[in-house]
Structure 1
Amino acid sequence: MVLAARLVLAAVFGVAGIAKLMDREGLPRAIGSFGLPARTWKPLGYLLVSCEFVTALALTVNPWAGIGALGALGLLLSFCLAIVVSIARGRTPECHCFGGLRATPVGWATLARNGLLAATAGFVATDGRAPWFFTGLGTIAATCWVVLRLKRSGKVRPGMATPGFSLPDTTGRVWTLDKLLAAAHQPLLLLFTDHACGACDALLPQVARWQQTYAERLTIAIVNGGPPADSVAFSREHGLRNLLVDEDRMLLTTYGLTATPSAMLIDTDRILAAVPAAGSAEIADLVTRALQPRSRSTIARRALLFASATMVPTFISTRAMARGVTWVNWRPKQVKFAGGWLCKQSYALCTKAACKPSPSDPNVLICRCVVEYGYSYGYKSCAERAPVGNRLVSTFSTQNTNPHTRTMTCTSRAQWANCLDVDCEIDPRNPRHAVCRCKSVESGDFFTFGGNCDTSTCTSVIWSAATPPGVPFQAAMESIGLSVTLPKACPTGTDDDDLPPNRLELLWGE
């Protein structure tokens, strides 16, 4: 009995450690969702994975089994305490207990499962003494876990068939789930938004770009809650397609979602392909996952993890090391390219920022920029740009552009702000924005994504801008297999109104 319990615990902690190691991007965010300071996310993640591997190894070696069981009990009780504190504060952060393999919000069911494992660890730590006591605790915890999971059985979970629906779009045409899937024979991303959701409004320009860029690989439909008039306004403002109206927000409730923005990835067989994503960062990760080539089935991946529960991955790509690439989830997290760095992390984006002079330094302009998460390009290393507390660095990307965004050329000599690689601070009143101290420049021929093609603002507004040749963001993204669409130039009344992408590279690319 004791040997069987040891092997079960070793397998659980081994799988958890391997899964977290493969989900090094999601793990720090999961730790942060429990309310811990940002500077502790990565160190705690590495410490947790190390402890789980050491615990799994100790449980499989006879002289150390008792110590391994005590370590398992300590980890499980710490997890239980963190869950209780979160629930008491009204939070249900996503638990990456098994990394990206199974990431679900914490709750009483998670607590009951950990209680069952803690009872097993106590049984091993006492070398099988008082078996009725630990059996009783385990039975109570197991019963609670099963009952609580049955209560959640009505919610849509990965691997389950997605319930159908019938909703009108902004033109009155009625769409069903089957019709959306059959229209292009490709996966469907359902994005849930609401007219009263500020985070949704900030995300929609990026959604419009996704719809345009990935139309042949992924169908993206937006389900917007609230009056139809608001959905029509959203569609026109951001150039959105496939915007469905869910006036009473019934579909959000049907799918067991509680907040916006949220997204669900559904495969061509109507099966929910991943845990629903909440927030712009998780939704961007879900889009990236949807665009990756389909790999082996979930069952096969889980079998592979369990079969290698006590093994630590040792394979490192020598080619990736030679290129200075750090791989995360089969895609580089950082790439050195053309003298700069393409990094995937949080950053400040100032491509449309209107700025004002600093009251204390005439060479500095204060710009209010947008906080984003994803790939961006700059000339500081990724380590130098890594967010620390409320500090961010401003870098370049096209993340908040949409089909209506244009590149405005200013030829008259005027003041503008160079925000590339400058330090910024997150606004404590609105964490979606950052205040950046940009460099004041005065010259002609600069380019900005702001201004809405009104060239009179070149001198009346101080724009965050750049000069040719700009930064090679597009080429850097293509080097890792991701394509981006650069905004077209503003109309000039000439044949060059619709500049092709290779002409725009002169401005923002190569």
Structure 2
Amino acid sequence: MLTVSTVPLVLCTALVALTLLISGIAKAKDPQSTVTGIQNLGLEKIAPTRAVSLILPWFEIALAAVLLLSPVRLPVVIASGLALILMLFYTVVIARALATGRTAGCNCFGSESNAPVSRYTLVRNVALLLAAAGAHASALRGGTGVVSTLLGLGNSGWTWVFGAALIAVTLEAVRRGDALAQPEPQAEVILPEPVYDENGEELYVRMPIPHAALYLENGRHTNLRALAKNQARMLVFVSATCAGCVKFLKTMSSWQERLPQVALHPVYSSLDSLQTSRNAGTLPEGLTPLIDRDAGARANFGNGVPLAVVLGADGLIAGGPVAGKEQVEALLADIEAQFAEAARLAEEERAEQMRQAIAEGTSNTDGDHL
């Protein structure tokens, strides 16, 4: 039976295994998130993005499976050694990112973990590195997979496990409870008050396009009103590392083909963000990207990304603003339906005019025979 002194090392193995399992599953669900993370961290020169995005998730899952399930020592020694090397590499990468200012999301746990790299990311990785060292030490001392090891624990060993589980549950409850609190205040956004009709239905009131600055990729300055002077345009404010934005950007070119009447533009908060999108292969082809420095233009319409607004050629806002991938797509679908309805009505009017012209021509012909 295992002694109490071996239990902390077993808990290290469990921590590393569960971390690798969660990370691998998240990456496998969205390989593009790994590509984006590699680009954000500046590793594309040493890591072939496509190959890594396809292999790394399953490598992590395989290591986790061995650490959790292996009933014999040797596979655990190998897997824990590889996990130790992997955690060391991850820690060095995060330290390098902080030192060089590459703080865009690492997507370490897939597209849902797109928070910027920070000192807390480094602390987390150092802790996982130490846990991986403990897991490897456990394997070298004769330890097997977590499941078989736990089955061999005595009562005193299970007390350790219960205590560790209690700590984990408490910390998770605190984290989820804090997440329900009010979000941190953002820059003040002053929007018009809604207007309602006599039935209480909200009316869409077209407001003047604000005088807000935007920039082309070459640095040339323009503004919202100048953009819409000759053609209606939809601006979609995006982030290169936002999961919803990335998914929408992949479909933006096809939306442009469906709506040639409105010019679509992805709007990034910086040139670096635009370049990250290009490197990741998510910059829409055939569209002109714009840059909204410090999100100054977006502040006129609200917070959050993706956020879309339609600028009319008459100097008024013609649609939106709306925020969220589904809401942006719904706005595009609504615009498409409006153009289709307008085309149908125009065709019916043209057909009616032709019918009347034919009828008048027939009447005149009948009169000539009198």
Could you say which structure has the larger radius of gyration? Answer: 2
- TM-score (normalised: structure 1): 0.36
- TM-score (normalised: structure 2): 0.47
- Bigger fraction of residues in strand: 1
